[in-house]
Amino acid sequence: MSDSALVRLTGYADGDRLRPVLVWAPGPGWRAIASGVEGGGIGERRWWLNAQVDRDYGRTDPDRHVRELAAGLDLSGPGVGLLTAADVRYRTAAHEGGVHAVATVGLGLPVHAAAPDDVVAAESAPGRPPAPGIMVPGTINVLIVVPVALTDAALVNAVITVTEAKAQALAEAGVPGTGTSSDAVCVACPAAPPPGGTPEPFAGPRAPWGLRIARTVHRAVADGTAGWLDRHPSGDEHRPWRRASPPE
C-alpha cells in the first residue's frame, strides 16, 4: 500500500462551497483508538475522515455534523471523524515496515501542554469560543495504520508514542509548543491476529511496532510542519508567533 493509496481526497458541500475531506475506509475487520469528536475511544471502526471546516466554525454539534458527512460520503457503520481548520489538501504521509501515518498540520496557535493560568488566558481567542473539540486556529490530526493487531494497552501505548514523536518534530522545527490545544489522533489496527496468533502487547517507542509508529509520525508531522511554515512565513496573519531556535 502506498501512502497516497491510504487515504483519498474528496469533497463535501458546505452551503455553496465544496470543501476538502480526507477519507480512509477499509471496511470491517478493523478497530481503533481515537480522540475524534465522533468515534472516540476504543472499538470497531470501519472508516476515518478528516474534514476541513471554516476557522470560525460555529456548529455546537460536531459529532452530528461528522455523521452527516459520513452519510453523504456513503460511509456506514462505526467510524472516526475529525474536523480541522487546517487545509487537508496539504496532508503529509510516511511509512515504514507496514506502518502508515498521515498528518494534517495547522499551527496557528501552538501551545505548551503544561502552562500557567495567565498563559492559558492569553491564548484564548477574542469573542465567542469555539464549540468543544473544534479548532479555530488550526490543529494537528494524525492517522496511523498498523498492520498487526494490538491489545487495548498497546493501543493506549501507541497514542503516547504518537504524541512524543509529534512533539519531537515540532521541537526540531522551532515551533514554540508541544502541539495545539485540539490535536487529535487515530491509531487503527486489524481487529484480530491471524489464527493461532496473539495481539502485540507493546507499542512504546522502543518496541518494534512502536518504533515504526514513532518514525512514521515524526516524518509526517515534520514534513507537514515544514510545509506549513513555508506557506505561512513570519509576519503572516495566520502565524502570530515567532519561531524558536530548535534544540541542538
CATH number of the domain that residue 7 is part of? 3.60.70
**95 belongs to a structural domain:** yes
The angle that helices 152-172 and 208-231 make with each other, rounded to 10 degrees, is 40
Residues sharing a CB contact under 8 Å with residue 27, sequence separation 6 or more, in sequence order: 46, 47
Please give the tally of structural domains in the chain.
Answer: 1
**189 belongs to a structural domain:** yes
**242 belongs to a structural domain:** no
Q: What is the pLDDT of residues 162-180, one digit of tens each?
A: 999 999 999 999 999 999 9
Q: Is the dihedral of CA 223, 166, 27, 148 positive or negative?
A: positive
Place of cell 512565513: 233
**197 belongs to a structural domain:** yes
- Note down the domain range covering 55: 3-231
**246 belongs to a structural domain:** no
The total of other beta-carbon atoms located within 10 Å of residue 200's CB is: 22
Name the pTM for this structure.
0.91
SS3 59: coil
**63 belongs to a structural domain:** yes
**69 belongs to a structural domain:** yes
Q: What is the pLDDT of residues 52-94, one digit of tens each?
A: 998 778 788 999 999 999 999 999 999 999 999 899 999 999 9
Helices (DSSP H) in the chain: which residue ranges?
Answer: 3-6, 62-72, 117-123, 152-172, 208-231
C-alpha cell at 117: 493560568
**236 belongs to a structural domain:** no
Residues sharing a CB contact under 8 Å with residue 123, sequence separation 6 or more, in sequence order: 109, 111, 115, 181
- The residue ranking higher by pLDDT, 119 or 192, is 192
